[in-house]
Amino acid sequence: MNGNSTELFAKTPPVKLFFLASLPGAVSMLASALYQLCDGIFVGHYLGETAFAALNLAMPFVIINFALADLIGVGSSVPISVSLGRGQKREADNYFTCATALIIISGLLIGAALYILAPSLMRLMGAGGEFAELAGQYLRVYALCSPVTTIIFAVDNFLRICGYIRGSMWLNILMSTLSAGLEYLFLGVLDFGIWGAALATCSGMFVCAAIAYIPFIRGKALLRFVRPRFSGAMFRQIVGCGSPNFLNNIAGRITSIILNAILVRLGGETAVSVYGILMYVEGFILPLLYGMCDSLQPAVGFNWGARRYSRVRAIERCCFTAAAVVSLASAAAVALIPETITRLFVSNPAENVLDMAVPALRLFALTYITRWFSFASQSYMLAVEKALLASLISISTALIFPLLLIAALWPLGLTGIWLNFPLTSLLAGALAAVILRIKRREFCRPDAD
């Protein structure tokens, strides 16, 4: 399909394009989300509540490790799509080649730093004893594997740009299935510790990253490896376009680290476990939204580069509508079955766990009444090279609004922590609406002749 990607983005009717590009992307992310759920379920059931809490304590640092690769992958995919829309094939190939090299180098550097600092980071979070030891083990496996796993987040974007939309979907399904199978083997059969859970995920990522690069190495894809030409302008473009996702990841993990540190002191391992359950629920819903919106970014960027602005708006209407449907349905589901969700992650939960988790999940469900709007708006602005505006929404959603609300809701204790999520989402939606209103004339410009 790689030879037809230009025609797919330029000529396919928007609704049909949505189903061809966005639904496979959503399925890909759903497969990933299901594995993440399985990861939490396996650890909670096979290794116990302390290991589950340790996993959630370490997870923000794991995501920070992947965030830099995501910065480069997303940051390069936007100029690649725009360059292809302008007919600048050589420029697109150079972005692709340089991005691949940068991700491997950054994986080496960040992985080494996290491996060395893992024990100190866990102590800094307020953890001690077995709790800190398990969290450190989990983080160190990801750190060691970083150079050969982080590339998976970028190559998924590159495959979609080249028109391998279904191939990307099946690769994500393979990665999730392989990782889940290995985790069952390592934890359920071989009785490995928490490090086995991390090794299972890293093994699945490495195998699928190697498979994903086969069409690029063989020269069969639209994008090809060329002799890299690094430049300051290229770095600025990649960082500018990738910064919204990067800032969202980093700021979100900073917020998670702060919240975990507060939760350790307010409610101990139980509160950290409940917060982990909320994050696993979010890790199931947001990938669906991300899969739909992110999968359309190459098409939006291509048409923006070709100055077909009416087509950009038509594609984005599909994106906003689908995001709203998924988000509202998720809100209803979480509110209706909070106890069932809790039991997925904690086998035979004690009464105090249920008493904390059930109301927390019901409050958390309110988040998705409005979350879809800011999410789709941020994706739209990123695709049309409005990285600063997308970054403003991203950093506000992930860091500024949550920190302000932590202070404002502090007298409510743990209830204030759970209320933080829906109120942050409401504020982010209002900010996105204001930005779209201010920039309405620019976004509604007529097509070029």
Tens place of pLDDT for every residue, the chain, 449 residues? Answer: 344 556 667 677 777 777 777 677 677 777 777 777 778 888 888 888 888 888 888 888 888 888 888 788 878 887 887 788 778 888 888 888 888 888 889 889 989 999 999 988 888 877 778 888 999 999 999 999 988 888 887 888 788 788 787 777 788 888 888 988 999 999 989 989 999 999 999 999 999 999 999 988 888 888 888 888 888 888 888 887 777 667 777 777 788 888 888 888 888 778 888 888 898 888 788 877 877 777 777 777 777 777 777 787 888 888 888 889 989 999 999 999 998 888 888 777 778 888 889 999 999 999 999 998 998 888 888 777 677 888 888 889 888 999 999 999 999 988 999 999 999 999 999 999 999 888 777 676 666 65
How much is the pLDDT for 270? 82
Locate tokens 């922590």: which residue? 417
How much is the pLDDT for 7? 66
How much is the pLDDT for 192? 92
The answer to whether residue 285 sits within a structural domain is yes
How much is the pLDDT for 2? 43
The answer to whether residue 1 sits within a structural domain is no
The answer to whether residue 448 sits within a structural domain is no
The answer to whether residue 390 sits within a structural domain is yes
The answer to whether residue 5 sits within a structural domain is no
Q: Which domain does 407 fall in, by range?
A: 16-443
The full DSSP string for 29-69 is HHHHHHHHHHHHHHIIIII-HHHHHHHHHHHHHHHHHHHHH
The answer to whether residue 43 sits within a structural domain is yes
CA pair distance 361, 376, nearest whole angstrom: 23
- Helix, strand, coil percent values for the chain (each to nearest 5): 85, 0, 15
pTM beyond 0.85, yes or no: no
The answer to whether residue 245 sits within a structural domain is yes
How much is the pLDDT for 291? 73
Instruction: Please count the structural domains in the chain.
Output: 1
How much is the pLDDT for 362? 94
CA pair distance 137, 132, nearest whole angstrom: 9
The answer to whether residue 8 sits within a structural domain is no
